[in-house]
């Protein structure tokens, strides 16, 4: 693929030439450049001009959209939200401010932040009828199954915020989703442990409210630990958005048909649940508990390398990061801080995780494939220390990622060039053949 031309104006539009060596056909493809990151070959006219499709299962080389929300440089291990580094946001910002930034593109003024926080606070209650949905589940239902069902059910409630062509209704729907996810997550937990639901309070911050709804009981005062609230808020920031990952792409594709926004978020929750994606944080803890002792690490590393063994080192590897996931770096630091604060400094799981990371990063298999710890490697250790059961780990990921899904959904809806997503395929099935009557088969 040769690249010709230069500059950005139409006259000097950069192009690349695709040559089909069988037919001799040549196609000029526009080369588009973003503000950061790789340039792209614009193939939108390829099928119309050649009759051929491109082929990229798993989308390893495909840009599905233009977006200004999040930028990832996998080689550098860099993550920016609207240009601000995840390290600086985790250190200096809070989750409500990051939500505003992702939705509106700029850090809020003091007044804008106060107004946004008030809008989120005053949408945190659920319609009382929603409680009946929870009671329809078995008590041992996985909380992610409850989340998918409950969020999907929200699409039956808020008919005043589902006209996605109305900017005001889009913003109200966005606020409702961000605001109600902690309430739904906490209720999923309470239902699973047989405790009464705790209603949100308007005098608490977003993270404080979630901890309160999750861990308070009606029989006594619940004292919110500032350390846990800060750790919770930081964990939410680190999971807020991550470009076009599987669950975000699911939300975008669902939303591209004009579907109800709550139903689109339910689709994103379903995708995030998978162990290759957000479900990895629960799988990491299960893996660490199965390894049990650092003497068994070599055995599990050998299994991870064995192509005949489905076992993978959970919390390691990433489609984009070929360096440290910057979120994992922050979470490793937070793990030490939270465990120290909780008096669990010598948590054997953290020691085991650190030793596993050390050994893996010296192993050629992982080094050659640039497999580093990702966001899920340390998060479960912190969440377990904070008192969450492992079945709630991915629920917390979904809670935090809701703002990313909503911001990406909103950007897609507001894109004037937006069309329904409808990929094609490489067909490998039968050609046309006559029907065979039952008595002749």
Query: Which residues in this chain contact ligand SDX in the complex, by CB under 6 A?
Result: 242, 245, 276-278, 280, 304, 312-320, 369, 371, 374-376
Separation of alpha carbons 231 and 245, rounded Å = 24
Nearer to ligand SDX, 374 or 402 (CB): 374
Distances (CA, A) of 204 to 111, 170, 172, 180, 207: 18, 26, 21, 14, 8
DSSP annotation of 195 = P
The DSSP 8-state label assigned to residue 316 in this structure reads B
Instruction: Please give the Cα distance from 155 to 263 (Å, whole number).
Output: 6
**Largest pairwise CA distance in the chain:** 79
Is residue 309 among the annotated active site residues?
no
Give least dist CB 80 to ligand SDX, A. 14
Candidates 94, 241, 347, 376; catalytic one: 376
The verdict on whether 318 is a catalytic residue reads yes
Give least dist CB 86 to ligand SDX, A.
11
Coil/strand/helix, residue 374? coil
Strands 15-19 and 2-4: antiparallel
| Residues constituting the chain | 441
168 contacts: CB under 8 Å, gap ≥ 6: none
Which residue lies nearer to ligand SDX by CB, 113 or 319?
Answer: 319
Least spacing, CB of residue 280 vs ligand SDX, in Å: 4
Smallest distance from ligand SDX to CB 386, Å: 20
Sign of CA dihedral 206, 207, 210, 215: negative
Nearest to 158 by CA among 169, 144, 147: 169
In the bound state with ligand SDX, the residue whose beta carbon lies nearer, of 158 and 378, is 378
* Residue in 241, 224, 282, 208 with CA at minimum distance from that of residue 400: 241
Q: Could you identify the residue written with the tokens 């596993």?
A: 356
* Cα within 13 Å of Cα(304), Cβ side: 22
List strands edge to edge, sheet with 40-41. Answer: 2-4, 15-19, 26-32, 40-41
Dihedral over Cα of 41, 42, 47, 49: its sign: negative
Query: Got the DSSP string for 99-117?
Result: HHHHHHSSPPPHHHHHHHH
Closer Cβ to ligand SDX, 126 or 392, answer by number: 392
Cα 102 to Cα 90: distance, rounded to the nearest angstrom:
14
Beta carbon nearer to ligand SDX, 215 or 273: 273
Catalytic residue among 239, 318, 325, 347: 318
CB of 159 to ligand SDX, least distance (A): 31
What are the contacts of 88-92 at 24+ separation with CB within 8 A? 89/237, 90/234, 90/237, 90/238, 90/330
- Cβ proximity to ligand SDX, 168 vs 358, nearer residue: 358
* Contact criterion met (CB below 8 Å) for 328 and 377: yes
Q: Give 79 or 232: the residue with its C-beta nearer to ligand SDX.
A: 79
> C-beta of 402: minimal distance to ligand SDX in Å?
13
Rounded to the nearest whole angstrom, what is the least distance from the CB of residue 366 to ligand SDX in the complex? 7
Q: What is the set of active-site residues?
A: 318, 376
């Amino acid at each position: 693929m040769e690249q010709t031309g230069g500059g950005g104006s139409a006259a000097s539009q950069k192009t690349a030439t695709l040559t089909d060596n069988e037919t001799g056909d040549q196609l000029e493809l526009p080369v588009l450049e973003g503000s950061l990151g790789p340039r792209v070959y614009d193939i939108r006219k390829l099928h119309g001009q050649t009759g051929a499709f491109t082929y990229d299962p798993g989308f390893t080389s495909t840009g599905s959209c233009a977006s200004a929300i999040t930028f990832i440089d996998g080689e550098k291990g860099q993550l920016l939200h609207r240009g601000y580094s995840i390290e600086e946001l985790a250190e200096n910002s809070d989750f409500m401010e990051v939500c505003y930034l992702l939705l509106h593109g700029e850090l809020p003024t003091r007044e804008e932040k106060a107004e946004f926080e008030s809008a989120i606070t005053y949408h945190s209650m659920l319609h009382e009828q929603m409680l009946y949905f929870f009671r329809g589940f078995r008590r041992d239902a996985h909380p992610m199954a409850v989340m998918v069902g409950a969020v999907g059910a929200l699409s039956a409630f808020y008919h005043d915020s589902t006209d996605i062509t109305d900017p005001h209704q889009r913003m109200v729907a966005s606020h409702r989703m961000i605001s109600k996810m902690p309430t739904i997550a906490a209720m999923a937990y309470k239902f699973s442990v047989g405790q009464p639901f705790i209603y949100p309070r308007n005098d608490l911050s977003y993270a404080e409210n979630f901890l309160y709804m999750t861990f308070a009981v009606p029989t006594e005062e619940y004292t919110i630990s500032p350390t846990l609230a800060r750790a919770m808020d930081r964990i939410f920031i680190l999971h807020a958005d991550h470009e076009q990952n599987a669950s975000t792409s699911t939300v975008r594709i669902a939303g591209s048909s004009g579907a109800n926004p709550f139903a689109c978020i339910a689709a994103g929750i379903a995708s995030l649940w998978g162990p290759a994606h957000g479900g990895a944080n629960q799988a990491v803890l299960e893996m660490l508990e199965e390894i049990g002792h650092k003497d068994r690490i070599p055995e599990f590393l050998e299994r991870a390398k064995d192509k005949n063994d489905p076992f993978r080192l959970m919390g390691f590897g990433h489609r984009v990061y070929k360096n440290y996931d910057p979120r994992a770096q922050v979470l490793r630091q937070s793990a030490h801080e939270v465990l120290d604060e909780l008096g669990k400094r010598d948590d054997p799981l953290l020691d085991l995780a650190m030793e596993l990371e050390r050994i893996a990063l010296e192993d050629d298999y992982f080094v050659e494939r640039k497999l580093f710890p990702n966001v899920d490697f340390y998060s479960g250790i912190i969440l377990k220390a904070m008192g969450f059961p492992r079945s709630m780990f991915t629920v917390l990921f979904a809670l935090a990622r809701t703002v990313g899904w909503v911001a990406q959904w909103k950007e897609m809806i507001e894109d004037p060039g937006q069309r329904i997503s409808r990929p094609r395929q490489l067909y490998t099935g039968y050609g046309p053949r006559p029907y065979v009557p039952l008595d002749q088969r």
